[in-house]
Every structure is written in C-alpha cells, then in structure tokens.
Amino acid sequence: MPNTKSAERRVRNSARKQAQNRSIATRLHTVEKKFHALVSAGSKDEAAKACQAVASALDKAAKTGAVPKSRASRKKSRLALQLNKLK
C-alpha cells in the first residue's frame, strides 16, 4: 500500500500505463499470429500485406515505448526473412 500522496499517484499511473501496454502487446500478438498463419498456408501476397501491418504495429509500439526499438527492429527483420523464403 502506498504511504504518500505521490506514491498513490504513481500506483494509478503505472496501472493505467500497464493496461495500455497490455493492449498494445495483445494487438501485436494478434497481427503476428495472423502473419504466421498466412506464411504457413503459403499465400505470399496476403502474407506481404500482413507483414506490412505487423511492421506498422511494431513501429507504433516502439514509438510509444511499449516495446523496445531493438526488439521491434529484430522482429521486423525476421518477419521479412520468413516472407522472402516463400515462393
């Protein structure tokens, strides 16, 4: 339990930020799963569109700090490699 007024405020702020970050992370997982499903199905055109959506979502998450920039960059690189392996 917080003992001071400022500690109470920090608890409220951290709870709000945690909810926002969880929402962003959930959205990222959803678009990534969709991309992986399309890659495993072998549909290159749809997977390319999904890859763009994932890259955009990762960039937005990195911009707000929900995901570290290096992690977003690494994931985008690996997704592009998977897309390029498709024929």
Name the residue ranges covered by the structural domains of the chain: 5-85
What's the predicted TM-score (pTM) here? 0.85
**25 Cβ neighbours under 8 A, 6+ residues apart:** 61, 66, 67
40-82 pLDDT per residue, tens: 999 999 999 999 999 999 999 999 999 999 999 999 999 999 9
- How far is 82 from 64, CA to CA, in rounded Å? 26
pLDDT band at 87 (very low <50, low <70, confident <90, very high): confident
In sequence order, which residues have a C-beta less than 8 Å from that of residue 2 and are 6 or more positions away? 8, 10, 11
pLDDT at 47: 96
Q: Under CATH, what is the fold of the domain 5-85?
A: Methane Monooxygenase Hydroxylase; Chain G, domain 1 (1.20.58)
The percent of residues in the chain predicted with pLDDT above 90, rounded, is 94
10 within 8 A of 2, measured Cβ to Cβ: yes
Taking residues 13-17, report their average pLDDT.
97
Is the pLDDT assigned to residue 26 strictly greater than 90? yes
Structure confidence at residue 33 (pLDDT)? 97
